């Protein structure tokens, strides 16, 4: 972590020293997050992100933009299991949502293809601050003209199951109005598995990565 932080500081210091202009701002928006890699049958969950940005303009068409963001990520799944026993039909529906909360630090290279419109790409490092799994399980039995349903809900703090640092790459497009209001659309692809190593996962060579589509609106001062 120390080497990563030193590299980030070095890039930002170099960009600041060479910048013709520095702008600061804030942004917030919605995340559509899911797990990639070897994960199957998962669907996206909706979260949000918010934080601050700084744009270091090196020329009329090129900038470096570091950001510091709080970001809700993760995934959700739904599974139904059915069986019959003694003339009674049983079905169990389970909905599970995994939430991973990160402090993300992307450092983006921005190229302005025209006034206000930019293409953005760069690396990102994320620091996990919390992780929680929530579930809702409904069991229904039908037989003899009678239907009975039972619902169980709960949550588990499972931060220990995930790595504290996540590496990814971010790419997207942005548009800024002359008044400072800007809009962004991005895709974040994880480069490393977020799961902590275990004998079971190592044997299966199982990988789980963070994939996030984000839409943002912000303002630069």
- Please state which of the ranges 34-38, 65-69, 173-177 shows the lowest mean pLDDT: 34-38
Q: How far is CA 126 from CA 72, 116, 130, 167, 194, in A?
A: 11, 28, 12, 6, 10
Helices (H) and strands (E) in the chain, counts: 2, 9
- pLDDT band at 203, cuts 50/70/90? very low
Which residue ranges form the domains of the chain, and what is each CATH number? 2-220 (2.40.160.20)
CB-side exposure of 82: number of CA atoms within 13 Å?
A: 4
Task: Give mean pLDDT, residues 187-194.
Answer: 93
In eight-state DSSP terms, residue 197 is P
Report the alpha-carbon distance of residue 53 to residue 44 in Å, rounded: 26
Bridge partner list, 184: 174, 216
The string of pLDDT tens digits covering residues 102-138 is 999 999 999 999 999 999 999 999 999 999 999 888 8
- pLDDT band at 17, cuts 50/70/90? low
């Amino acid at each position: 972590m120390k080497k990563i932080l030193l590299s980030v500081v070095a890039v930002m210091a170099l960009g600041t020293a060479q910048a013709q202009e520095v702008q600061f701002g804030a942004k917030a928006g919605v995340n559509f997050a899911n797990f990639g890699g070897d994960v199957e049958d998962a669907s996206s969950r909706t979260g949000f992100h918010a934080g601050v940005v700084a744009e270091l303009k090196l020329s009329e068409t090129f900038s470096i933009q570091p950001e510091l963001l709080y970001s809700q990520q993760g995934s959700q799944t739904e599974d139904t299991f059915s069986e019959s026993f003694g003339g009674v039909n049983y079905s169990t529906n389970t909905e599970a949502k995994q939430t991973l909360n990160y402090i993300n630090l992307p450092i983006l290279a921005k190229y302005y293809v025209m006034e206000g419109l930019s293409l953005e790409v760069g690396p990102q490092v994320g620091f996990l601050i919390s992780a929680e799994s929530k579930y809702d399980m409904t069991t229904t039995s039908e037989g003899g003209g009678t239907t009975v349903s039972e619902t169980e809900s709960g949550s588990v703090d499972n931060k220990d199951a995930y790595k504290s640092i996540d590496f990814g790459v971010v790419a997207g497009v942005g548009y800024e109005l002359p008044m400072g209001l800007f809009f962004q659309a991005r895709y974040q692809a994880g480069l490393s598995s977020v799961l902590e190593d275990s004998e079971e996962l190592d044997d299966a060579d199982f990988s789980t990565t963070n994939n996030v589509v984000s839409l943002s609106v912000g303002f630069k001062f």
